[in-house]
Amino acid sequence: MKVILLTLSILFLSTRLFAQKIELSLQANLGLFHYSGNATTSTSFINSSGGTPPQGNTNNPYGNKNGFSYGGDIQAQYVSKSGFIAGVQGGYDVLRSIVDINSVYPQFALFGPAESPPPPPAKGQTALQTQNFNINPYLGYRLDLKKIKIDIMPGVDVSFNVNSYDKGSATTNDGTVYKVDNKLPKSPTDIRLRLGVAAWYKRFGLTAGYAHGLTNFASNLDVNAGGTSTPAPETHSELIRFGISYRIF
């Protein structure tokens, strides 16, 4: 949080001192987010914890199916006469990845005798939802096409997790609905390589970006339990953003 506040303070001070060289803009974006790697999944099951109504948790919440995401940013960038760009964004994201649920493991199936009946099939979805403060420093270049200006902005996302939730539900064949709504431990800081593009007409802009995470969210899994040798688990974030911008000056 201190890093975010310091960065935003520098942005505002810079605009005061170098207003004739700095562009300040506000952005709103929508996106698609998922995890990639051999420790992710498109389908999983709910581990039931009982209760009324029935509740549980997703066995593997790291979904490789895209979930709807959104966020907002404030951006300050210096643009030289030659077209060179140096800038930084600071903002807030809500990111969601999706897992399809195909069964529910009741408590007796998880902890009962080996002859316990198989888990009932179910249909539903859960989402791993995270809220994050994000900083994106970047360098780039502006193409001036008369009325349209195009900014190409390769850089890095540094995403600080605020909270993480496992949310969703699934319904078994007998109509029982199992709810999932669990607060999870905070995720590690996610470092992502990012490429952004913005097309400007006067004060309005359209933006697009892609970010690939370098942080391995599965690095704490024990993959060699029992003496077996298996590939190291990998779980990395993938994010596509589309947005609109308004340049204040």
Per-residue pLDDT at 244: 97
Alpha carbons within 13 A on the beta-carbon side of 124: 24
Q: Which residues of 36-65 are buried (b: 16+ CB within 10 A; e: fewer)?
A: bbebbbeebbbbbeeeeebbbbbebbbbbb
Q: How far apart are the first and last CA of the chain?
A: 27
Helices marked H in the chain — which ranges? 2-17, 107-111
What is the residue range of 205's domain?
2-247
Looking at the structure of the chain, the number of domains it has is 1
Please answer whether residues 134 and 160 qualify as being in contact, where contact means their C-beta atoms are separated by less than 8 angstroms: yes
Token pair, residue 247, equals 């340049």
The answer for residues whose C-beta is within 8 angstroms of residue 26's C-beta and 6 or more apart is: 72, 73, 74, 75, 245, 246, 248
CB count in 10 Å sphere of residue 79: 19
Per-residue confidence (pLDDT) for residue 224, from 0 to 100 = 39
Phi, psi dihedrals of residue 202, rounded to the nearest 5° = 55, -120
* Bridge partner residues of 22 (DSSP): 78
How many angstroms separate the CA atoms of 74 and 130, rounded? 20
Tokens representing residue 156 in the block: 């890095």
pLDDT in tens, the chain (249 residues): 555 555 555 555 554 544 457 899 999 999 999 999 999 999 999 998 877 778 889 999 999 999 999 999 999 999 998 999 999 999 999 999 999 999 998 765 444 555 556 778 999 999 999 999 999 999 999 999 989 999 999 999 999 999 999 999 999 988 889 999 999 999 999 999 999 999 999 999 999 999 999 999 987 654 433 344 467 899 999 999 999 999 998
pLDDT computed for residue 225 by the predictor: 39
- The angle formed by the CA atoms of residues 82, 86 and 90, to the nearest 5 degrees, is 150
